[in-house]
Amino acid sequence: MVVGDGEAVVLWTGGKDSALALFEERERGAGIRGLVTFAPPTGEFKAHAPSLIRAQAESLRLPHRFVAISPPYGEAYEHALRELRADGVRFLITGDISEVQGHEGWLEGRAKAAGLELVRPLWERGRRALLERMLEVGLRPVITALRTPVLPDAWVGRSLDRAAVEELAALPPDHTIDLCGEGGEYHTMTLGGPGFQRPLSLGNWTLAREGDLRYARLETSPRSLHRSPD
């Protein structure tokens, strides 16, 4: 599929998968118009802090917009996607790896109804292969949230680097976890890599809990998330 110049946006969470999807499509020559984040009306993402998402977009030098999404979600997504299509967007790039159980074809259906083509460069690629690709191209994700007893609190704020990937791969069979966190076991935010003009930092943060979710609650302003390259 040829993605036309300036006709594509990336559905952006700021995590490793959306960052790798952006990289892969740019490698193929796609013209990326910008990043779009669908968010609750409050703008509160516990695993993906809005302040850090804004800092990512600034470092990537790509236009970004948050789009508030409220129930009923099917109608809200289609309305937002139709607005993108009316603005000249033809392609919606996502970091989806596989279908979420119970939601097979959900986003594809919403995109099709809005007249957009869904582009999924990571689709059905092996989990370990995707993590190896992430390391190979130099993306720098950090784990910002956990929803599994398999990983201890100390993994919040840890870089998803070679050592972390090897530890995940070496977990015993009775410690069931998806290597890429597709079951919600962990979430990441990308702090640097190809396309970033300067690396980012989580800044000051504290470990917070909500139910079975443990996450990094940022305590710094968006500007203070930037740091100079080493």
Residues 78-132: tens digit of each pLDDT: 999 999 999 999 999 999 999 876 566 889 999 999 999 999 999 999 999 999 9
**Separation of alpha carbons 210 and 203, rounded Å:** 21
Domains delineated in the chain: 8-119 (3.40.50.620), 127-225 (3.90.1490.10)
Question: Rg of the chain's alpha carbons, rounded to an integer?
Answer: 17
Beta strands in the chain (DSSP E): 8-11, 32-39, 64-68, 91-93, 117-119, 141-146, 186-190, 205-210, 213-218
The secondary structure of residue 172, as a DSSP letter, is -
**pLDDT(221) > 60:** no
pTM (2 decimals)? Answer: 0.93
Q: What is the mean pLDDT of the chain?
A: 91
The secondary structure of residue 125, as a DSSP letter, is -
56 token code pair = 């990512």
Q: Are 216 and 157 in contact (CB under 8 A)?
A: yes
pLDDT by residue (tens digit) across 171-187?
Answer: 998 888 999 999 999 99
Q: Are 123 and 1 in contact (CB under 8 A)?
A: no
Specify the pLDDT at position 105: 81
Preceding peptide of 222 cis, ω within 30°: no
Specify the pLDDT at position 33: 96
Specify the pLDDT at position 229: 39
